[in-house]
Amino acid sequence: MMTTHPVVSPDDLADIDLADPRLHAEKDLSEVWRHLRGEPGFYFQPERGSQPGFWAVTRWEDANAVYRDKEHFTVERGNALNTLLAGGDPAAGTMLAVTDGITHTRIRNLLMGAFSPRMLDSIRTRVRQTVEELIVAAIEKDDCDFVRDVSGNVPLGAICDLLGVPRSDRQYLLDRTSQAWSSDEADAKPEDSWAAKSEILLYFSDLAKSRIGSDENDVVTLLANCHIDGEPLSDAEVMTNCYGLMIGGDETGRHAITGGLLALMEHPDQWQALKESAVDPAVAGEELLRWTVPSLHGGRTVTSDVEVNGQMMRAGDVVSVWIDSANYDEQVFGDPDRFRLDRSPNKHLTFAVGTHYCLGHYLARIEIEAMLDTLRRRVSHAVQTGPESWIYSSILHGMSSLPVRLHPESTPLS
């Protein structure tokens, strides 16, 4: 039932555009990535019309080197191809994900305070309850859309709990986060994405203002009332970092959970291993994160001439680090094209590495482990009942729809 995408031949590399969302939604690039991971492991895509050229980094070793090199690579002009190739990210210098140096350190340290053990334990409890309720409801529906009925609601609840977003506003935000960096349609207008981003930013600007002076225990209140070196955060710093947490906390978990169920249906031996508790849910969760690649790439700009494993890159060059390739690097992952829930160690780059290691990893791991445990206990087997629909994005990888039937376990496992 799974949609089989046409495999792109490495011979066609000169004719494809790695920055084109349609390529990633409609084609299979595995052979292209395998070819590019060979010598020398780098590829420079030349300019296409008004679109600048850029480097594609495809090997795990090189991706790791770029991510860790703060001296020669920056995110302050953007961390995704669509903003880098358009001239830069307007949130640069204010939002954690597109800020470097001392400002990045200060904001990161501030936000890390929100991920206290007490807060994470509270969120873990609520996530488990939410997942249980959603799976039970999906089973009772007989036929369901796993994205709409289950996976889209799990990360949303967790990140909104962390941010302190009222329940009445959550569907509004989900509708906009799903449009901010991807689309369900191939011909979506760029202005739709910018409108969604703007509405999220304005929402958090208003919410933060309402929390000034509040003693609530949530991230929006924390940002609205904190001071760094005696100065409050600017309005831009508050709303862009709320926006960054909202997007990061929603997308990775949602797409990993959806893609994980699809992978389990396609690999019945791994479903059986899960059902028999033959694998640790935490270890299994890491394989879902490697296999599904919720973030296709990370973007950087070269700040000064640098050589990466023999390849010279010049100041000003745009660089895309393809996690979609690095997570399947034969030099790091044994038998990388095999889905193995017991894979360990599992040094995937789904959350990047180094100073920009994704803060959302806490929530994503909690959500994925809760989903695996609930599927193991509640669902005897799952069947795909219709073709899935893949989102259109050059940075996110996931589905907007996955029709399934979840068959209940006659007696839920303990």
Query: Which of 135, 348, 110, 124 minimizes the C-alpha distance to 242?
Result: 110
For residue 345, whether the previous peptide bond is cis, meaning omega lies within 30 degrees of 0, is yes
pLDDT, tens digit (0-9, with 9 covering 90-100), for 179-221: 777 788 777 777 888 888 899 999 999 999 999 999 888 999 9
Q: What is the mean pLDDT of the chain?
A: 93
Residue 301 reports pLDDT greater than 90: yes
Structure tokens at 301: 């700009």
Look-up of token digits 């009332």: 225
Distance CA 142, CA 160 (A): 29
Is 300:317 a contact under the CB 8 Å cutoff?
A: no
Distance CA 249, CA 235 (A): 21
This prediction's pTM: 0.94
Least confident of 32-41, 158-167, 176-185, 328-337: 176-185
Residue 8 reports pLDDT greater than 80: yes
Query: Which of 373, 368, 369, 364 minimizes the C-alpha distance to 115?
Result: 364
Distance CA 351, CA 358 (A): 5
Residue 1 reports pLDDT greater than 70: no
pLDDT, tens digit (0-9, with 9 covering 90-100), for 10-19: 999 999 999 9
Q: Quick one: what percent of the chain has pLDDT higher than 70? A: 99
Structure tokens at 130: 């939410």
Cα dihedral sign, 117-106-75-189: positive
Distance CA 300, CA 298 (A): 7
Q: Which of 95-109, 181-195, 215-229, 289-303 has the highest mean pLDDT?
A: 289-303
Is 339:291 a contact under the CB 8 Å cutoff?
A: yes
pLDDT, tens digit (0-9, with 9 covering 90-100), for 255-271: 999 999 999 999 999 99
Largest CA distance in the chain: 63
> Three-class SS of residue 29?
coil
Mean pLDDT on 321-335: 98
Least confident of 24-38, 52-66, 109-123: 109-123
Mean pLDDT on 102-130: 90
The residues, ordered by sequence, that sit 6+ positions from 15 with a Cβ below 8 Å of its Cβ are none
Distance CA 224, CA 235 (A): 8
Is 400:184 a contact under the CB 8 Å cutoff?
A: yes
Per-residue b/e over 335-355, b at no fewer than 16 CB within 10 Å?
ebeebbbebeebebbbbbbee
The number of beta carbons lying within 10 Å of the beta carbon of residue 365 is 22
> Three-class SS of residue 156?
helix
> Three-class SS of residue 143?
strand
Look-up of token digits 């969604």: 196
Going by the DSSP 8-state scheme, the letter that residue 296 receives in this structure is -
**Per DSSP, what are the bridge partners of residue 74?**
301
Mean pLDDT on 347-359: 95
Task: State the Cα torsion 279-59-318-194 to the nearest 10°.
Answer: -20
pLDDT, tens digit (0-9, with 9 covering 90-100), for 268-296: 999 999 999 999 999 999 999 999 999 99
Distance CA 221, CA 268 (A): 46
Residue 163 reports pLDDT greater than 80: yes
pLDDT band, residue 406 (cuts 50/70/90): very high
Name the CATH superfamily housing domain 37-406.
Cytochrome P450 (1.10.630.10)
Look-up of token digits 């919410």: 207
Structure tokens at 352: 């990047």
Residue 414's pLDDT is: 67
Residue 193's pLDDT is: 83
